[in-house]
Structure 1
């Protein structure tokens, strides 16, 4: 019941940003409520009303007045100052403001790009020159010069794979003598959206087949890549497998025996449970989660995607993990954009692409706001004794965003939480954070829809707390009052005993308490309804 009441409460919240030209319909203790205020909540409630009597305009106006009186009372007894209320409002405000921190148009573009890259796979190889974690402009320049020289070697005719084996600082490019692992010469195989860092993925999809990309940077360092092929995605597959870790003759002999048993119509699941060395899947008959290209080792992936019919199994094959036999469980082609849109949007918003959307918002705000940096105040952070300086010596304004002034001390607090980055880079991060923070702080002033919804939640939560105190707790804890109410209405409940119909009596008692409470609130308030405006509203809705 309480949840239902809160839902109704939210529907009956008034709008702060009503149309200025709307006529006044109602005045409660001097507070003017316009026709458009009431019409908005009335029309919202129409969707939840399933009978004509409940659609009556005057009855809805009475309910609206009751609601306004309750909210007014909640503010009067300062329920909005409760720590629990403030904490919940702050949590909700953060949730509600989150979409405003991203550029919706930009997000939609990223989602469409992600779908294209889900439907199409690219095959590439790369060379990496690492940059240190504590990066200086000099480190950046040296790494860039080095990768540029390597790129020139490839452009001048040297084989990309040979150059990758010689120069790439990605360990997987070279042979590993200790483990006996063969290097991949920079080859990454096929991959699609969300398999790589976004900047790497974008460089691959923006490079034509056979061409070498320009140098680009990720958090690992500078890369170049060469695109070998481009194809329509194979989607994903589900397979079950039998794995034997023994890579020698005994392992080969046993895997061939298992294959013969399969050919003799023994069940794959039973054989997986009996023989597989993969402890994570053998109890499930060898079943693996569905996967796409670029997830498994290349031989495993090639065999899995070569199987065509559900139930079909492969011949024994070998990878660096041992001997395998696979059985196809199901193929999953790439779904339509409409079917994938929600999933892709969630991935975009939760992955490294989200920062691009946030950057787009920041870029717009930089053009909109008056922002100034105090270069003199910034120089203090070049001092070697900065960590020992007192807070009093860090009170100069270092950054201004419209009317907001930010001190050196505030930046110093941010700086202490960051390591291994030059100060100029950290300051840019700080500035961007402060721009977004300023935007968020002022959302109620700049975004009417945000303000309306937030105010609805504020009022709804207050009324929930008020009803809890005035009605719900009283009806359940005031046993004498409940008994007195039951005795006063015996004719309605006889011949039943109170304990047997306590739930029904409590509900009636709550309605009784609320009715008396509302009557008291109305007696203490001055309520004026503009009859002319009310008649116009009734006429407008009766003609529809």
Structure 2
């Protein structure tokens, strides 16, 4: 189903394949201790060590599918080839490209997130979110808008409004009516504040907390989110729907240019009639479903849960089926017309199964603030830090009340404040850095008064920021695994840029080269014998006999369908196409010769095939095999390129050392 409902970005696919395919195979190095082992080989005198080669080989031995990559001699060739490409990238200066720098910075930022964590707090949040994911809450809410940085006066005004509404509800007024009249959520006028069903991670954390701690039928306490003040009423709680395995039959929606816009709908209805006539769902899916990723398996899809597919219509129908083998009526999604059969229901995953996913979601959620607070406390204990009170006092005199109107500017002599206001271990943080920090804070209104209190708060936030910066700057020094994964990303991104430049773009634009490659490899791309034929099937022998008689009289396929099928009963199904030898849609006993075949029975179906034309074996045109041929051309170009790199760079392999490594790895 995902192959129909989702499209992948080609660039992302290539990058992912490169970094997590070849790189994972060749260079997943987590704890390299460079310069501690013997030199295995050099590239222009740059050494590469036995320790890295041995560890990578052992780590990935069970992952490789190509047996040649398990052979140590072949593996060394691949390893050297990879290092040659990286050296070439550096030689071309690709590491100076701004896009590359930005991508590497982004990757580092993502990777570093794993180190800005608190295991204990995270585990508590994982357990809480998992427990909540067992349920879906249905709630309505009333919102009074107020910015999270609003003035005290505006905040109090908003609070009084929500308090008055809460009091009116407590006295018996209808929640829905008040939501429609007074809520400042724009949708409330139509939905009376109804938010439908939701579970953990669907709302901001404060809202989720209120929803999951308020009993059914009750109204919550007043609570605040970044949007304003809320109260909510929980109207229902139901178990999470879990996951389901279903099979489906799909007929793609017509294209805008199609003349018969009802063809897909009529076809799915015909198939539904056949199912109701007792024909097997799986057999119909194999023969007629246009979801080619599932049709060969009788339409069976991988199991999925709420929100995992791109079609809400499909999910809702699938989850509405109660018992195994229940079958839906035909329905339409944005992708096509479907009939769905329930195979199995699956309960919500276990906590252990969901942990990685939950941890990732927590890191992107408001609840991560708990983790941040814990990290700040740990870093204050981890690093020695000292505030220069004299410098702080001098800077404080420069900040005026213009700060509250966002009109305060850095003083002309700000650059002179080079003395440290903060020292973290041996790192000095200049006073002007704190001045610049204060200037930025007025862009996000800060209403803490007086100035002295605001500056104390600002310094504490500044201290936490600088401690985290210092920790981040030293991740490579403190964590060997982080340092080496960054090495992999660094080289992998360079290699991607290099491959794009040297191989991928060339294979797409070098039409003459591709044509020549086709000329010397075209006999590897052959059509088998093919026929232009019409295949007609029925579960009824008498109907297929009528079909044979009509075909012999020259009756067209459409006329046969119109005459033998009725609005109530689908007696025959007809497919006209070009079929290659071995095509599963052709009856197995079909002879590749013009004429009408004998009736054959396969399973519960009777088939007759009318062959109009036999197409001989032959070479595919370049256009007919272009996708596969381009991929082969890329591999050809890459191998030639690696051969050229071996001439460009001076490679020296220490054969005695390699023999020693081979013996160790074979033990």
TM-score tier, shorter chain, comes to 0.5 to 0.7
Give the match's secondary structure for 2:401: coil
**Residue 513 (1) aligns with residue 640 (2):** yes
In structure 2, distance between residues paired with 1:542 and 1:508: 30
In structure 2, distance between residues paired with 1:394 and 1:466: 45
Deviations 1:68-103 (A, max 9, x none): 122112111101111221222222222222222222
In structure 1, distance between residues paired with 2:84 and 2:165: 70
Deviations 1:34-92 (A, max 9, x none): 22211222224323323544311122112111211221121111011112212222222
Pick closer, same or farther for the CA change 1:24–1:194 going to 2, 3 Å.
closer
Mapping 1:262-341, distance limit 5 Å: 335=348, 337-338=350-351, 341=355
Whether the 8 Å CA contact 2:518–2:622 is kept in 1: the answer is no
Q: How far does residue 350 in structure 1 lie from its aligned partner after superposition?
A: 3.3
Pick closer, same or farther for the CA change 1:418–1:446 going to 2, 3 Å.
same
Question: Where does residue 49 of structure 1 map in the other structure?
Answer: 64
TM-score, normalising length: structure 1? 0.58
**Residue 408 (1) aligns with residue 423 (2):** no
Whether the 8 Å CA contact 2:25–2:60 is kept in 1: the answer is yes
Q: How far does residue 413 in structure 1 lie from its aligned partner after superposition?
A: 3.1
Question: Where does residue 454 of structure 1 map in the other structure?
Answer: 486
Aligned counterpart in structure 2 of residue 13 of structure 1, from 17, 27, 30: 27
Deviations 1:291-336 (A, max 9, x none): xxxxxxxxxxxxxxxxxx9xxxxxxxxxxxxxxxxxxxxxx99956
Q: How far does residue 517 in structure 1 lie from its aligned partner after superposition?
A: 1.5
Give the match's secondary structure for 1:392: coil
Higher helix fraction (1 or 2) = 1
In structure 1, distance between residues paired with 2:122 and 2:94: 39
Give the match's secondary structure for 2:397: helix
Mapping 1:133-532, distance limit 5 Å: 169=163, 171-174=165-168, 235=239, 335=348, 337-338=350-351, 341=355, 344-345=358-359, 347-374=361-388, 375-380=392-397, 382-384=399-401, 387-395=407-415, 396=417, 397-402=420-425, 403-406=427-430, 407-422=433-448, 423-424=454-455, 425-479=457-511, 499=622, 503=629, 506-507=633-634, 509-511=636-638, 513-522=640-649, 525-529=650-654, 531=656
Whether the 8 Å CA contact 1:25–1:530 is kept in 2: the answer is no
Pick closer, same or farther for the CA change 1:421–1:102 going to 2, 3 Å.
farther
In structure 2, distance between residues paired with 1:221 and 1:511: 58
Whether the 8 Å CA contact 1:26–1:528 is kept in 2: the answer is yes
Unaligned stretches of 5+ in structure 2?
A: 1-12, 138-144, 180-197, 214-222, 231-236, 243-312, 317-322, 324-344, 449-453, 527-617
Whether the 8 Å CA contact 1:411–1:427 is kept in 2: the answer is no
Pick closer, same or farther for the CA change 1:78–1:33 going to 2, 3 Å.
same
Whether the 8 Å CA contact 1:136–1:421 is kept in 2: the answer is yes
Count of matched residue pairs: 422
Q: How far does residue 22 in structure 1 lie from its aligned partner after superposition?
A: 3.9
In structure 2, distance between residues paired with 1:417 and 1:235: 44
In structure 2, distance between residues paired with 1:45 and 1:538: 16
Whether the 8 Å CA contact 1:85–1:461 is kept in 2: the answer is yes
Mapping 1:90-105, distance limit 5 Å: 90-105=105-120
In structure 1, distance between residues paired with 2:121 and 2:111: 19
In structure 1, distance between residues paired with 2:524 and 2:349: 61
Question: Where does residue 541 of structure 1 map in the other structure?
Answer: 665
Whether the 8 Å CA contact 1:133–1:420 is kept in 2: the answer is no
Q: How far does residue 497 in structure 1 lie from its aligned partner after superposition?
A: 9.4
Whether the 8 Å CA contact 2:104–2:490 is kept in 1: the answer is yes
Pick closer, same or farther for the CA change 1:17–1:337 going to 2, 3 Å.
closer
Pick closer, same or farther for the CA change 1:427–1:60 going to 2, 3 Å.
same
In structure 2, distance between residues paired with 1:76 and 1:363: 45
In structure 1, distance between residues paired with 2:468 and 2:414: 23
Pick closer, same or farther for the CA change 1:134–1:518 going to 2, 3 Å.
closer
In structure 2, distance between residues paired with 1:369 and 1:416: 29
More contact order relative to length (CA 8 Å, sep ≥ 6) = 1
In angstroms, what is the RMSD of aligned CA positions? 5.9
Question: Where does residue 293 of structure 1 map in the other structure?
Answer: none
Give the match's secondary structure for 1:431: helix
